[in-house]
Amino acid sequence: MVMMALPWLLVLELVLYAGCFISGIIAAASLTVTQGNFAGRCILYGSVHINATGQSLTIESSSSPSLCYFVSAISIFVAIYCFSLILYWVYVSCVDGDAKRERTGHNAMLMVCGIVVFFLLVSGCVLRVGREHLCLHILQTVPSLTSCEEAQNKTWSSPYNGSQFSSGLHRAERSVWVNFFFWILIVAVVAVQRRHDGGFIRGQAWSPDETEPFFHRPARIM
């Protein structure tokens, strides 16, 4: 079994990578589908307008499409990176039989974790603030609505389809925050591995005998 050849901390790390991969795919897919339902417009931080008859809603203003592309790209990149790490460690365990990360590898991984956590934090904040801004404007435009989810039942002017916009944005935001939480756990797991392997040199346990002097001090003659 592959998992039997891996240290349990590394197995836990790979499980977290799998969760990050799934979360990243869900976030990117949800945001991309929502953007597609609005003819490619990024409705984050957007505003709506209701027609004169009060029958349908339409998008009055929206953010640059690159904003949604940016958030989706981060989720996709993280998903691909996690999947690559899973394949790498499975391959190493099959070829070498003893997969182990060096101390420099721990330091590099902690640096990568910091970068990923930062961008996921930015993505989560963009989704949260952008969704709340849109929902607040919808509730102000249509006072009869008590929640943003109710706007999904309203008629939207062509070519827009708002039947799942709130659910899609909320799903994307939730997936990003789950991804962020998983990466915080990965940072903790890597830090524990780094500390645990601190007393090992090239996979060999440190021995106090190695610090003994080459020449023993002669005994004192009374």
One digit per residue, pLDDT tens: the chain, 222 residues? 444 456 788 889 999 999 999 999 999 999 999 999 999 999 999 999 888 776 788 899 999 999 999 999 999 999 999 999 999 888 887 876 555 666 677 888 899 999 999 999 999 999 999 999 999 999 998 888 888 898 888 888 888 998 899 999 999 999 999 999 999 999 999 988 888 765 443 444 434 444 444 344 444 443
pTM of the model: 0.82
Letter string b/e over residues 184-213, b meaning 16 or more CB atoms within 10 A of that residue's CB: eebbebbeebbeebeeeeeeeeeeeeeeee
